[in-house]
Structure 1
Amino acid sequence: MKFIFDPPVPVKVQKMKERVRWGDASVVERGIDQTSMVLDDGNSDNPEFSFIVIGDSGTTEHQGHHPQRKIAELMLAHQEESRFVLHTGDVIYVVGSHEYYPTNFIEPYREFLVGGENPKRIPYDRMVFNLPILPVLGNHDYYDVPGIYRFIAGGTRSLRRLLGYKNVEIGWHGSYKGDAYARAFLDYLKGFDSDEELERHLDEHYTAKTDTGHCLRYEPGRFTRLPNRYYTFRYGGIDFFALDSNTFNEPSPLPATKEGEAERRELVHRQHEIEQEEIQILEICEKLNPEIPEEAEQLDALKAKLYQIDEIKIDIEKQLESDESSVVDFEQLNWLKQRLILSWNTEEVRGRIIYFHHPPYVTEATKWHQAQTLAVRRCLRWVFDQVANTLGSMTQGRPIVDLILNGHAHCLEHLRTTDTGHADSNINCIISGGSGHYPRRQRNEGPELMETFDYLPGNPYRKVADSFLFIGRNGYDEHLRRPYSFVRIDVKGGRPPKLIVRPFVIERFMGEWCDRHVEPFVI
C-alpha cells in the first residue's frame, strides 16, 4: 500500500493554474504578467545587498530537539542586513498539509512574521512577512496521502503504532495537490467570490510595471503573495528566476529493448529489496522506547533511514510508470528560455540567479543516481543550449546564469560544472537543503561527478562537475554528527557581480548543539 504519492504532472500544472486564475479575462485585459513581481522594499536599486538561502526545513521536533528552530535562531542575526530569504522547497514535511503549517513553519519562523509574538493566532493562509520568504515548491509540498490511509490508520491502533514514523508528520491530510502551499504563498485568486472582488484586488496589488507588463507588487509587512508557482523578479540589477522543478523531473521512458527490460527487472528487484528493508526497520522501531535517550537516538536514525527509503521508492515508481506519454512542462521551460534571453538583452541586468528544488548536480548519497536528477539536468541543458544558440557571442564567455540554487539533498554543498559539452558548463551550484530535515551523507564515490553521454558515439564517460564543499551527516554511533545549515550570500557591485557565500552551520553531537565554523568563499 502506498502511504505517500506524487500527483501526475498535468494535474499539478492544471491545479496551480486554476488557483491563480491563469489567463483570466480580468487579468489579460489589464496586461498583467502573472510570472513577474516587483519586490518593493525601497532598496531594490542598490547594487550591493545580501540574502539568505534555506531549504528542506519544514519539520517538527526530532526526539526533543528542533533543528529548524535552531537554524531560524541563527538567521535572526542576519535579518536586518538581508533583504529576503530564498527557500529552495520542501516547506512542509512529510506531506505539505495545511495542518502542519502552524508547527512546522509559523512557529519556527515567528520573528519573520508580522504578529509573530502570538504565532498561534496567525492563519497559515494569511501570513505577512517582515522579511520576505520567497519559496519554490518541493516534492513534499505536492505530496498527498490516500484517503484509505487516513481511514485505516485512524481506526487501527496497532497499525498507527507500526506506522508511527510515518503518521507523526503525515496526519489526516495531504497537500491536496499543492493547495496548502498555494494558499500559504501564492496570490490565490481562485478564492474571490465575484469578478468585482477580483478586479478590485488586481487594481490594488498589480500596480508594478516591468518590461513584460503590469505585475504584482510585493510589499514586505503588507502584501505577501507570489504571482505563480514559477516567477521572476529583479533586485540590485540581478534577475532571479524561481522554478517549479516538480513538473520537469519525470524520468525518460525505459526503452522497449532487451536492455530496457533488464533495467525494468532490476528496478522491480530493487523495489522489493527496499520494501523488505523497510519492514525490518519498522519491526526494530516497534521495539524501541523513545523515552530512553539511547533508544531515542537510535529511533531518530532509523526514522531518517525510513524517510530516505520513501524517496527511493517514489523514484523507482516514477521510472516504472514512465512511458511515451510522460509529460514535460515545456510551457515553463519555454518561459524560462524567453526570460533568460530577455534578461541578457536588458542593459541594466548584470547577473542572473536561478533557484528550484531538484539539483541537476549533487553528491549526496541518494540523489545523483536518481532518475529525477537526470531528468532535471537534461531539461535545464535543453533550455540553456537554446538560450546560448540565440545569444551567440553576446555572453562574452560568461555562463548563462551566475549561480544555481537548489535543495532536495539534505546537505550544504558547493559544486561547479566543468565543460559538459553544453551551455550548463562552468556554472557554480549551491545546494542549501540542510535547514531542518534529517541530514544525509555524501556518496562513497567522492566529489567528482562523472556522466555517460549515451547519445554520443562510444557513449563517452567524462567528468561533468566537482564538489568543493559538502556538509552533511557524518560519523557513526557515539561519533555521529548531524549538521544543519543555511547560507547568506552578499552581492557586490560590478559586472559580473561578485558573490560572497557565507555558510552557517550548527551540529547536533552527543546530545548537544555546537556551532561549526565554515570559511566564506567567493564565486
Structure 2
Amino acid sequence: MNLISEPSVPVKIQKMKQRVRWLHPSIKQREIDQTSMILDDNGREENPDFSFMVIGDSGTKSHYGSHPQRQVAEMMLNHSDDCRFVLHTGDVIYVVGSREYYPANFIEPYRECLVGGENTKDIAYDQMVFKLPILPVLGNHDYYDVPWLYRLITGSTLPLRRMLRYKDIEIGWHGSNQGDAYTRAFIDYLAAIPPRELERHLDKHYTGKSHTGLCLRYQPGKFTRLPNRYYTFNYGEIDFFALDSNTFNTPEPLPENQAGDIRQELLKRRQKLEKEELQILSECEKLNSENPEDSEQLADLGGKLDQINEVKIDIQKQLETHTNADVDFEQLEWLRSRLIASWQNSEVRGRVIFFHHPPYVTEATKWNQGQTLAVRHRLRAVFEQVAAALGNLTEGRPLVDLVFNGHAHCLEHLRTGDTGYADSHINYIVSGGSGRRPRRQRKEGTELMETFPDSPRKVADSLLYVGRSGHGSQRKKPYSCVRVDVKAGFPAKFVITPLVTEYIEGKWCDRSLEPFII
C-alpha cells in the first residue's frame, strides 16, 4: 500500500503560481520581479566578510527520547551571533509536509530563531517571523500528500494505526495539500490577501530594488517572506540562487533500444523490494516500542523502510511515460539568464546555488537514482548554455563556487573533475543530515563514474562523508550541518566547517571537523 502520494510537475507549478498571484496585473504594473528579493539586514548585507549556515532534511520529531534535530539547532545557536542567515536544503517537514507538524517539527526546534520563540504555542505556522532568517527550498516531502484511502481506513482502524508505528509515521490527516503548507509557512501568500488590500501590500513590502525591477524586501524581525518557490538574492556581493528541483527531477526516458529489458529489470527490483518490505514489517510486529532495546531496533528498521520507499518511488518515476510538461523548463531558463547576468555584473564576486536533489552524491540509495541523473544532466545543460554565452568572461573559473543540496541524509563534500562539460571543477556539499535518520555511504567507493557514448569515465570524487557507519556497538549515527565563512576579496573564498553531533553512551557529543577552504 502506498502511504504517500506526490502531485505531478504541472500541478506543482500551477498551484505555486496561483498562490503567489504570478504576473498579476498589479504586479506587472509595478514591474515587480517575483523571483528576486533584497535581504535587508540593517546594512550588514553589504559587508563582503560574512558567515551563514546550511541545514537540510530536518523536520522530524524526537526519536525515543532523543531529538537529533534539536541538538543540531543548539549546535547552530553557538554560531548564530556571527552568522547572518541559514539556508535550508529542503524536507522541512516529514513524512508529508502537513501543517499540523510545523509546531513540533519546526517551530519548537528553531524557537530561538523566531520572534516570540519563548512562547512557541502562540506562533502559528503561517505567521512565523524570523530573527535569524531561515531561507528554505522545497524538498520532496514538502510536496507529499496523503491518499484519501489511507485517511479513510486509518481514521477508523486502530490495528492499522498500530501496525504503522514501525515507520514512526507522521502523516496525520492533511498532507501538504500539494505544497500549500510550505507556501503558507515561508512564501508571501498573495492569494490569501483580499483584492482590495493587494496593492497596499505590494507598495509596502515590494520596495527593494534589483537589476530586474522592484522586488520583495525581506526584513529580519519584521517581514520574513520569500517571493516564490525559486528565487535569488545578493548578500556580501555573492549571488545566491534557490531552486525547486522537484519540478526538474523527472527521470529521463528509457533508451529505446533497451527500454524493454530495463523495464523488466526495474519491475523485478520493485518486486524484490516489496518482499523485503513485508519481511521487515513482520519483524516490526514482534517488537514493542515501549521497550528501550526494541525501540532502537524499530528505529533502524524504520530507516530501512524509508530507504525502500524512496527507491520504490524512483522506480515508479522511471517506469512512467513522461512529456516535456513534466520538466520545468521555465525555471531552468530563468537560472540560465540569471547566471549569465550575474557573470556580466562586475560587482558580483561569487555564486552559490542551493536546491534539494543532489546531482552528485555517494549515499547508498541516491547515487544512481533516475532522479539524481536527471537533475545532473539538466543542470549540466544549463551550465553548458551559460558557458557558451559567456565565452572567456569566466577566465577559467567554475561557473558556480558552491552547490548545496539535501535529500541524502548525510554530510558530504564532492568535487567534479573534468566532466567534459561546464559543470567541471565545481564543489558540491550535501547537507541533509540535520534531523532525519542518517544514511550509509555506498559500498562502490568514493569515485563517481558516468557512462558516456564513448566510454565510462570518472566525473567526481567524494572528499568527505559523514553518515551512518559501523555495526552493533561500533555503530555511528552522526547528525550535522555546515558553517560557511565567506572571506572578503575577489574572487571570494569560502571556509567550510562541518558541524557534527553524535549520541554516544547516553549523551550528545560534539564531533565537528576541521574547516577546509574552497
1:322-341 superposed matches below 5 A: 322-324=321-323, 327-341=326-340
Separation in 1 of the partners of 2:270 and 2:444?
Answer: 23
Given that residues 10 and 327 in structure 1 are in contact (C-alpha distance below 8 angstroms), is that contact kept between their aligned partners in structure 2?
yes
Q: Which amino acid aligns with 1:474?
A: S
- In structure 1, the residue matched to 2:380 is 381
Deviation at 1:509, TM superposition (A): 3.2
Given that residues 90 and 406 in structure 2 are in contact (C-alpha distance below 8 angstroms), is that contact kept between their aligned partners in structure 1?
yes
- In structure 1, the residue matched to 2:88 is 87
Deviation at 1:184, TM superposition (A): 0.2
Given that residues 359 and 408 in structure 1 are in contact (C-alpha distance below 8 angstroms), is that contact kept between their aligned partners in structure 2?
yes
- In structure 1, the residue matched to 2:30 is 30
- In structure 2, the residue matched to 1:254 is 254
Separation in 1 of the partners of 2:259 and 2:363?
Answer: 26
- In structure 2, the residue matched to 1:126 is 127
- In structure 1, the residue matched to 2:206 is 206
Separation in 1 of the partners of 2:506 and 2:419?
Answer: 43
Q: Which amino acid aligns with 1:309?
A: I
Deviation digits for residues 417-476 of structure 1 (CA, Å, limit 9, x no counterpart): 0000110000011111000000000000111100001xx3x3x10000011100000111
- 5+ residue gaps, structure 1, are none
The CA RMSD over aligned residues, in Å, is 1.0
- In structure 2, the residue matched to 1:394 is 393
Q: Does 1:481 align with 2:479?
A: no
Deviation at 1:213, TM superposition (A): 0.2
Given that residues 160 and 167 in structure 1 are in contact (C-alpha distance below 8 angstroms), is that contact kept between their aligned partners in structure 2?
no
- In structure 1, the residue matched to 2:103 is 102
Separation in 2 of the partners of 1:509 and 1:369?
Answer: 32
Deviation at 1:252, TM superposition (A): 1.1
Q: Which amino acid aligns with 2:235?
A: Y
Separation in 2 of the partners of 1:262 and 1:512?
Answer: 51
4+ runs deviating over 6 angstroms = none
Deviation at 1:280, TM superposition (A): 1.1
Q: Secondary structure at the match of 1:51?
A: strand
- In structure 1, the residue matched to 2:467 is 472
- In structure 1, the residue matched to 2:486 is 491
Deviation at 1:411, TM superposition (A): 0.4
Given that residues 55 and 87 in structure 1 are in contact (C-alpha distance below 8 angstroms), is that contact kept between their aligned partners in structure 2?
yes
Given that residues 145 and 173 in structure 1 are in contact (C-alpha distance below 8 angstroms), is that contact kept between their aligned partners in structure 2?
yes
Deviation at 1:508, TM superposition (A): 2.1
1:364-513 superposed matches below 5 A: 364-453=363-452, 456=453, 458=454, 460-513=455-508
Deviation at 1:217, TM superposition (A): 0.2
- In structure 1, the residue matched to 2:265 is 266
Separation in 2 of the partners of 1:256 and 1:90?
Answer: 34
Given that residues 404 and 429 in structure 1 are in contact (C-alpha distance below 8 angstroms), is that contact kept between their aligned partners in structure 2?
yes
Separation in 2 of the partners of 1:326 and 1:282?
Answer: 37
Deviation digits for residues 6-31 of structure 1 (CA, Å, limit 9, x no counterpart): 11100000000000000000100001
Q: Which amino acid aligns with 2:410?
A: C
Q: Secondary structure at the match of 1:482?
A: coil
Separation in 1 of the partners of 2:168 and 2:477?
Answer: 23
Q: Which amino acid aligns with 1:329?
A: D
Q: Which amino acid aligns with 1:317?
A: Q
- In structure 1, the residue matched to 2:157 is 156
- In structure 1, the residue matched to 2:184 is 183
Q: Does 1:53 align with 2:54?
A: yes
Given that residues 168 and 302 in structure 2 are in contact (C-alpha distance below 8 angstroms), is that contact kept between their aligned partners in structure 1?
no
Deviation at 1:325, TM superposition (A): 5.4
Q: Which amino acid aligns with 2:170?
A: E
Q: Which amino acid aligns with 1:407?
A: G
Q: Does 1:73 align with 2:68?
A: no
Separation in 2 of the partners of 1:161 and 1:346?
Answer: 58
Deviation digits for residues 79-122 of structure 1 (CA, Å, limit 9, x no counterpart): 11000000000000010000100000000000100000000110
Deviation at 1:400, TM superposition (A): 0.5
Q: Does 1:345 align with 2:340?
A: no
Q: Which amino acid aligns with 1:422?
A: Y
Separation in 2 of the partners of 1:168 and 1:261?
Answer: 36
Q: Which amino acid aligns with 1:35?
A: T
Deviation at 1:163, TM superposition (A): 1.6
Q: Secondary structure at the match of 1:165?
A: helix
Check 1:204–1:326 CA distance in 2 against 1; reply closer, same or farther (3 A cut).
Answer: closer
Deviation at 1:512, TM superposition (A): 3.2
Tell me whether 269-278 or 384-393 shows the greater mean CA deviation. 269-278
TM-score norm. by structure 2 comes to 0.98
Check 1:401–1:106 CA distance in 2 against 1; reply closer, same or farther (3 A cut).
Answer: same
Separation in 2 of the partners of 1:509 and 1:363?
Answer: 25
Deviation at 1:216, TM superposition (A): 0.2
Q: Does 1:293 align with 2:292?
A: yes
Separation in 1 of the partners of 2:470 and 2:321?
Answer: 37
- In structure 1, the residue matched to 2:512 is 517
Deviation digits for residues 268-288 of structure 1 (CA, Å, limit 9, x no counterpart): 111111111111111111111
Deviation at 1:166, TM superposition (A): 4.2
Q: Which amino acid aligns with 2:446?
A: P
Tell me whether 379-388 or 476-485 shows the greater mean CA deviation. 476-485
Identity across matched positions, percent? 66
Deviation at 1:167, TM superposition (A): 6.4
Separation in 1 of the partners of 2:423 and 2:267?
Answer: 33
Separation in 2 of the partners of 1:320 and 1:341?
Answer: 36
Separation in 1 of the partners of 2:239 and 2:168?
Answer: 40
Given that residues 10 and 325 in structure 2 are in contact (C-alpha distance below 8 angstroms), is that contact kept between their aligned partners in structure 1?
no
Deviation at 1:193, TM superposition (A): 2.0
Deviation at 1:511, TM superposition (A): 4.0
Q: Which amino acid aligns with 1:351?
A: G
Q: Which amino acid aligns with 1:518?
A: L
- 5+ residue gaps, structure 2, are none
Aligned length: 517
Q: Which amino acid aligns with 1:8?
A: S
